[in-house]
Structure 1
């Protein structure tokens, strides 16, 4: 490898893409194409980066398996950064195996962490934890130690283990500063911001306040009966009653939880849970049926008692009842939560992360764009959606990951 290639590679490792381009910008050999592709990725031009990396992969000969595998890993990183979550995981696994077989532990570890971060983005935490637990980060350089700690923190935050997340972020900050890469330091700082920012709203006895992640964790570990509007469930002390597939029952539970300890008049329950405009006897009959179903669902946690004017929620064991909801509520909040990371997403990646059909996600994107809340660029399969981050709010509770007890 010549001196210019070596110098460019060192510049990229230090987070200096412009310094790397000064050395290889006019070269067309395979190694230079690969370095140019990585440099363009660091500068945020993912389209050109992907094209350069694919040219580099083709330019490397059949006997240069390690170089080709490194290009595959770099392309996977670009796909992850541009939120193309549908890229073939088997291709990355094959590249990682090639790198391990040839003793390139650093790039093999990098491929390993890319696979884990993809799983984290699409909410498959159990698989991410399994892969992470099978890997020893001790011999890795500081940049990959920071990546390891960031993944640990990401999983801990989605599990609502805030103490573990805080410890992991402290290790990530030390490693990132040893690596001296500004973009990595910024990523750690952004992750630390999530722990400090409001992540949910608490509605209790007619008042509301914002909660940080550690406060949400404490609430769920408390003795309170929590009507969880982030996950559409009712929970208390580790017992969870999922109601995501029963929206009418959840709507009734939320209305009763917001009014606790008072009751809710029947007409209000009918109008808001059934979205009825003109209330008649059929609505009152339906309310009796749905209240009966809610009583059966909440049997181990609370009663729903009839009052003179309506119904009231009565938690067992003298518990208080509260409602936990998103810091900002609107129709397509889950889509906005993913877009709030400031990255550009394709509709297919959003569908994969949310577990929805692409058509459902596209309708939500169109509605948000019409309202001026998001914007798109590109056309066809290259179309991407993004929005500025929601100022001052974390989005962990809006992402598709199970909470304790789920």
Structure 2
């Protein structure tokens, strides 16, 4: 490794992307291309970074499998940051195996972290936790430990385990300080902000209030009967009934829970469940049928009884009833929730994360764009969507340890 490559690698190791570029900006050999690609990624020019890393991977010779594998790992992280979830995960897995086979455990661990971050992003938490058990962060350098702890915190946050999330973020914060990379510290603080910002709304006795993540955890463990509009389930501390595939039944359950301890009029229930403006006899007949189905679904959790003007919900074990609602609701609330992270998403990536068809997601984006709630840039496959009020926060590429030129 020559002196300029060494100096550029050392600059990247401490997050000095501009210092690295000053040393290799005019060079086109494979190691310089790889370092330039990582530097451009750290500066936020992901398109240029991806092109440089592809060029570097092609430029490395057939005996430089480790160097090519490291380029693949960096390219995979660019795909993750730019929300290109169609990037083939098998390529990253193959690169990780090459790194492990050649004893590069630091970059192999980083490749595993990228895999885990993708799994967490698309909601495959069980798979992410199983993979996490195979990775010991203790011998890793500080930057890699910080990345590992961010994954641990991400899973804990989605599992509503706030104590575990805080502990992981504290460890990530300490590791980021040891790494001496301010932008990594900023990323940890950005992740920690989730714990101090409202994540849902509580609706109870006709009153509404925002909830922090810790308060959501307390609510779900309080023994109350909770109609969870974030996951479309009805639960108490002993049992959970999913109504995710029964939207009419869930709408009725939510309406009755919002009216608790009182009842809700039949006309209001018709409007909430069937979107009908007037409750004629056909609507009343359908309401009776759907209420019967709701009674059957919730029989172990609550009783649904008829009153003079409508129906009322009475929990069997719980002393309280509440509705847990997302901060953003509406026809396309789930799409807005993903775009709220400030990153630029492709429609195909949103479809993967939401488990919906690309066409459905595209219609939702077009509708939201017409309302001024989202905006797009680029064309064709390069088109990306963002939520206008939130600026982008480019995640730094970590790629720790030895660089592609040694």
For Structure 1 versus Structure 2, the TM-score category normalised by the shorter chain is: over 0.9
- State the distance in 2 between where 1:284 and 1:329 align: 27
Please list every run of 5 or more consecutive structure 2 residues that lacks an aligned counterpart in the other structure. Answer: 392-406
- State the distance in 1 between where 2:348 and 2:147 align: 26
- State the distance in 1 between where 2:248 and 2:223 align: 26
- State the distance in 1 between where 2:389 and 2:192 align: 15
- State the distance in 2 between where 1:34 and 1:317 align: 61
Q: Is this contact kept in 2: 1:252–1:269, CA < 8 A?
A: yes
With the length of structure 1 as denominator, give the TM-score of the two structures: 0.95
Q: Is this contact kept in 2: 1:40–1:49, CA < 8 A?
A: yes
Q: Which residue in the other structure is 1:315 paired with? A: 315
- Indicate whether 1:219 and 2:238 are aligned: no
Compared CA separation, residues 87 and 107, structure 1 to 2 (3 A): same
Superposition deviation, residue 318 in structure 1: 5.0
Q: Which residue in the other structure is 1:192 paired with? A: 192
Q: Is this contact kept in 2: 1:200–1:327, CA < 8 A?
A: yes
- State the distance in 1 between where 2:142 and 2:13 align: 11
Residue 44 of structure 2 aligns to a residue whose secondary structure is coil
Deviations 1:108-130 (A, max 9, x none): 11101000000000000011001
Q: Is this contact kept in 1: 2:346–2:383, CA < 8 A?
A: yes
- State the distance in 1 between where 2:360 and 2:239 align: 31
- State the distance in 1 between where 2:21 and 2:196 align: 38
Q: Which residue in the other structure is 1:142 paired with? A: 142
- State the distance in 2 between where 1:327 and 1:381 align: 31
- State the distance in 1 between where 2:105 and 2:318 align: 57
- State the distance in 1 between where 2:389 and 2:217 align: 24
Q: Which residue in the other structure is 2:394 paired with? A: none
Superposition deviation, residue 185 in structure 1: 0.6
Superposition deviation, residue 338 in structure 1: 1.1
- Indicate whether 1:69 and 2:69 are aligned: yes
- State the distance in 2 between where 1:41 and 1:318 align: 52
- Indicate whether 1:368 and 2:346 are aligned: no
Q: Which residue in the other structure is 2:131 paired with? A: 131
Q: Which has the higher contact order (CA 8 A, sep 6+)?
A: 2
Runs of 4+ in 1 over 6 A off after TM superposition: none
Superposition deviation, residue 144 in structure 1: 0.6
- State the distance in 2 between where 1:360 and 1:238 align: 36
Q: Which residue in the other structure is 1:397 paired with? A: none
- Indicate whether 1:385 and 2:385 are aligned: yes
Residue 328 of structure 1 aligns to a residue whose secondary structure is coil
Q: Which residue in the other structure is 1:28 paired with? A: 28
Q: Is this contact kept in 2: 1:257–1:321, CA < 8 A?
A: yes
Q: Is this contact kept in 2: 1:341–1:389, CA < 8 A?
A: no
Q: Give the 5 Å matches for 1:82-161.
A: 82-161=82-161
- State the distance in 1 between where 2:306 and 2:125 align: 42
RMSD (Å), alpha carbons: 1.1
- State the distance in 2 between where 1:279 and 1:213 align: 39
Residue 272 of structure 2 aligns to a residue whose secondary structure is helix
Q: Is this contact kept in 2: 1:33–1:55, CA < 8 A?
A: yes
Residue 227 of structure 2 aligns to a residue whose secondary structure is strand
- State the distance in 1 between where 2:386 and 2:328 align: 18
Superposition deviation, residue 190 in structure 1: 0.8
Residue 201 of structure 1 aligns to a residue whose secondary structure is strand
- Indicate whether 1:47 and 2:44 are aligned: no
Moved more, 278-287 or 58-67: 278-287
Q: Which residue in the other structure is 2:265 paired with? A: 265
Q: Which residue in the other structure is 1:204 paired with? A: 204
Please list every run of 5 or more consecutive structure 1 residues that lacks an aligned counterpart in the other structure. Answer: 392-406
Compared CA separation, residues 84 and 318, structure 1 to 2 (3 A): closer
Superposition deviation, residue 244 in structure 1: 1.1
- State the distance in 2 between where 1:331 and 1:125 align: 26
- State the distance in 2 between where 1:388 and 1:280 align: 43
Residue 209 of structure 1 aligns to a residue whose secondary structure is strand
Deviations 1:283-319 (A, max 9, x none): 1111110000000000000001100111000111352
Q: Is this contact kept in 1: 2:17–2:40, CA < 8 A?
A: yes
- State the distance in 1 between where 2:276 and 2:95 align: 57
With the length of structure 2 as denominator, give the TM-score of the two structures: 0.95
- State the distance in 2 between where 1:168 and 1:341 align: 20
Q: Which residue in the other structure is 1:240 paired with? A: 240
Q: Is this contact kept in 1: 2:328–2:337, CA < 8 A?
A: no
Q: Which residue in the other structure is 1:305 paired with? A: 305
Q: Which residue in the other structure is 1:287 paired with? A: 287
Q: Is this contact kept in 2: 1:8–1:19, CA < 8 A?
A: yes
